[in-house]
Amino acid sequence: MGDITLHASDMHRLLADPTARFGALYQRAYTELAGTHRGRPVAEIVPLLRAAADAALLGFTDADLIEQAQAISSGAPCELRVRVTDR
């Protein structure tokens, strides 16, 4: 699946962090969609993923979001490669 690069201080935007003070956590949104949208059309899931990515200030490409939506729709595993930087 896709690649994303994040600064180490921004990991809370992607992964659930119980100490985070805001709710724009992409992992939580993805997990909720995976639980409620299996079997739904990819075209219905993509805008929801885009909204979650935008709220979390994550720069996923359209292709990444489509692949993620396909995984949710089919119930297939989803792999995301994350590069963490200190700059």
87 pLDDT tier (thresholds 50, 70, 90): low
Give alpha helix (H) positions in 1-87. Answer: 26-36, 42-55, 62-74
Nearest to 84 by CA among 23, 3, 1: 3
- As a residue count, the chain comes to 87
Please indicate, yes or no, whether the overall pTM of this predicted structure exceeds 0.85. no
Beta strands per DSSP E along the chain: 3-7, 81-85
The reported pLDDT for the residue numbered 85 is 82
pLDDT tens figures, 18-77:
666 555 578 888 889 999 999 999 999 999 999 998 988 888 889 889 999 999 999 998
Encoding tokens for residue 73? 């729709």
Q: Domain map of the chain by residue range?
A: 3-85
Which residue is listed with tokens 């993923």?
A: 49
